[in-house]
A and B are shown apart, each in its own frame.
Chain A
């Protein structure tokens, strides 16, 4: 199933420049228990951030099994979900983050191909 990701990026041409600046990235990774999938997502995220956002990111891992209340705030359904709180706008990336290119596109670190 193809995902129409294009439209959201087309509308903000200036945004790309902004993200190239040294603005901090505030990231949240929602997981539900220490499942292999969650671990994989966290490893993938860590790797991508180290490579592309070194020194200007924070990752908060939220385990919904411990804090189920928090699922409502960010409207989390899928696990794992990565939420980019900052810079705005909020972006959500679901899955194990295995496709690095797509994650970078989702985080606005790569212009759309």
Chain B
């Protein structure tokens, strides 16, 4: 451990991760790349962050741009260089040599450069030095032999001074730098690349060598934006993320029920596939709304619609997202896929996630990314994104458009196997109308419904209802409604018939009872009467005699 190389943090987000802590301390690092690859910016950011964040002052020796131009250029990036210069935390020295003004008449050395640099370092107590681009000397100094010897001496001198130095160099054909200065800088070499892939610019960074330490060896995409430089080492870091048991409601209670009664797993990835107009975005909006309702943040990355368009459209189904945008719980990032390369999208998305730290991220739709890359590339990007979301415990919700002709169990970007929960929305065309149905194709780790639900977009949001499954087959939409009303009608008729029968029985029963009662009531006198009749039949002559006894209590 004691042999561990000490490193100087650059403060450039991501770079310190892949270099395992920064640039080699007290040694020179070569940053090379083509024109416009961000070398000067890197150098300046190294100094500005050093002075601002790490208390290490810096010297910027520019051989190309004038100091006033530098200050102006970087002011637009939010680096307040003049403030740092005024506070004596940063010194800029512009070295300009005009070959036509110079005539060589004998031996010389570059002591003047050493004096200037030494003076600048001492004036601010610098720990960091940037030489941008020292190769300009090759066109200004007439004697290359002396220049090379002096450069070697310069780098040795800088090492002795213990300053961490960044040297930039223009990339040459077949070599890292045009004049081969990489041979003097052997500790750390970083290559910046700015290339066009299918008319889309992509910036990449690679650590060519870093003596005495392990480092990331891949090409990492990087970004230059208003915050300066950022490298995002997003690789598939392996499947080490912890699975969360916590659930995230879907925003649709009936859908929660379908997913084991509670919704998605937190930190899981959810894919919704469907043909055009099946309501994928509506499901996304429900999730966004319910997330924000709980006071959590949701990042909505939209590749097709603008923010206001989404808000307007979702209002029509009763989901008002505007208040959450105002409360800064919901952040939209709307951009066409073709604006950047795939890597850049990943970098930007990851950066947004880092900044906003949402608990739910929606990407709507991922199928659009196919327009800027082939299936393999898109899959690789999404795998890395899914993995990084899982590591952070962020629930990721993706929608994907599939063409109607394709098998529903296949996405164009081939990511379905990455997903934990896969919901399919489809339209069924019957009787001159299209109706939406929804079902859960898979949902890892939870009991989920195997049933198809009809998916209705109403002014109160998405509603799921049971589809009609009966002797007439599976019915949806108006056919279902018609069938249901037919069923209701039939049932009503059936009930009425039953009721009618019941009533009939009731009346008959009542009639019977009444008769019985009548008979019963008549039974008291009934004996006498019977007797009377019988007697009457037998002997009409004794009728008067029994009439006397009928008034007696014995009859009751």
Q: Number of A-B pairs whose CB atoms are under 8 Å?
A: 105
Closest CB in chain A relative to B53 CB, distance in Å: 28
Which of B97, B103, B106, B119 meets A77, CB within 8 Å? B97
| B64 → A minimal CB distance (Å) | 14
Give the residue of A65, A68, A75, A77 whose beta carbon is less than 8 angstroms from that of B110: A77
Complex contacts, B143 vs chain A, CB 8 Å = 1
Q: Say yes or no: is B101 at the interface (Cβ < 8 Å to chain A).
A: yes
Q: How far is the CB of B178 from chain A (nearest CB, A)?
A: 17
Contact call B105/A79, Cβ cutoff below 8 A:
no
Contact of B101 among A65, A72, A92 (CB under 8 A): A92
| Partner pick for A72 among B93, B100, B142, CB 8 A cutoff | B93
- Contact bitstring B122-153, A, C-beta under 8 A = 1, else 0: 00000000000000010011111100000000
A97:B106 contact, CB within 8 angstroms: yes
Q: B residues 105-128 with Cβ under 8 Å of A?
A: 105-116, 118-119
Contact of A98 among B106, B118, B137, B142 (CB under 8 A): B106
Q: In the assembled complex, which residues on chain B have CB atoms less than 8 Å from the CB atom of A75?
A: 95-97
Name the distance in Å between B303's Cβ and chain A's nearest Cβ.
52
Q: A33 to B93, alpha carbons, bound, how many Å?
A: 22
Report the count of interface residues on A (CB-CB < 8 A): 37
Q: Is the CB of B101 within 8 A of A98?
A: no
User: Do the beta carbons of B103 and A93 come within 8 Å of each other?
Assistant: yes
Report A-chain residues with C-beta under 8 Å of the C-beta of B96.
Answer: 75
With beta carbons under 8 angstroms apart, the residue of B105, B115, B144, B145 that contacts A94 is: B105
B451 to chain A, nearest CB (A): 80
In the complex, which residues of chain A have a beta carbon less than 8 angstroms from the beta carbon of B106? 41, 44, 95-99
Decide if B113 touches A99 in the complex (CB within 8 Å): no
Q: CA–CA, A99 to B105, complex, Å?
A: 6
**Chain B residues near A91 (CB-CB < 8 A):** 101, 103
Q: Specify which chain B residues have a CB less than 8 angstroms from the CB of A71 in the assembled complex.
A: 112, 115-116, 119
Q: Is A28 an interface residue (CB 8 A)?
A: no
A80 to B107, CA, bound (A): 9
Chain B, Cβ-Cβ closest to A104: B105
Residue A69 at the chain B interface, CB threshold 8 Å: yes
The answer to whether B239 has its CB under 8 Å from any CB of chain A is no
Chain B residues lying within 8 Å of A76, measured Cβ to Cβ, are 112, 116
B107 partner residues in chain A, CB cutoff 8 A = 37, 95-96, 98
Chain B residues near A80: list those with CB within 8 A.
Answer: 108
B108–A96 contact, CB under 8 A? Answer: yes
Instruction: Specify which chain A residues have a CB less than 8 angstroms from the CB of B137 in the assembled complex.
Output: 77
A1 touching B142, Cβ below 8 Å = yes
A95-B108, A96-B108 known; A105-B115 Cβ under 8 A = no
Beta-carbon nearest neighbor of B119 in chain A: A68
Q: Which of A37, A71, A79, A102 has the most CB of B within 10 A?
A: A71
Q: Is A32 an interface residue when CB atoms closer than 8 A count as contact?
A: yes
How far, in whole Å, are A7 and B102 apart by their CA atoms in the complex? 12
Across the interface, name the chain A residue whose C-beta is closest to B103.
A106
Chain B residue with Cβ nearest A105: B103
- Distance of A79 Cα from B113 Cα, bound (Å): 9
Indicate with 1 or 0, residue by residue over B306-334, a CB within 8 angstroms of chain A CB atoms: 00000000000000000000000000000
Residue among B101, B113, B115, B116 making CB contact with A90, cutoff 8 Å: B101
Chain A residues positioned under 8 Å from B115 (CB to CB): 32, 64-65, 68, 71, 79
Please pick, from B112, B144, B145, the residue contacting A79 in the complex, using a CB distance under 8 A.
B112
Contact with A along B78-113 (1 / 0, CB 8 A): 000000000000000101110011111111111111
A11 → B minimal CB distance (Å):
10
CA A103 – CA B106 in complex, angstroms? Answer: 10
Q: Output the nearest chain B residue to A63 by Cβ-Cβ distance.
A: B115
Smallest Cβ distance from B190 to chain A, in angstroms? 27
Shortest Cβ distance from residue B91 to the other chain A in the assembled complex, whole angstroms: 11
Extra inter-chain contacts (18) besides given A79-B111, A99-B106, CB under 8 Å: A3-B104, A5-B103, A32-B112, A37-B107, A64-B111, A68-B116, A72-B93, A76-B112, A77-B97, A78-B102, A78-B141, A79-B110, A81-B112, A93-B104, A94-B105, A95-B104, A95-B108, A102-B103
A-B contact pairs, 14 of them (CB 8 A): A30-B112, A32-B115, A41-B106, A64-B112, A64-B115, A76-B112, A77-B141, A79-B109, A79-B115, A92-B101, A95-B107, A96-B105, A97-B105, A99-B106
Smallest CB-CB A-B distances: 9 pairs: A95-B106, A68-B119, A96-B106, A98-B106, A79-B111, A76-B112, A106-B103, A32-B111, A95-B105
**Interface of A with B (CB < 8 Å)?**
1, 3, 5, 7-8, 30, 32, 37, 41, 44, 64-65, 68-69, 71-72, 75-81, 90-99, 102-103, 105-106
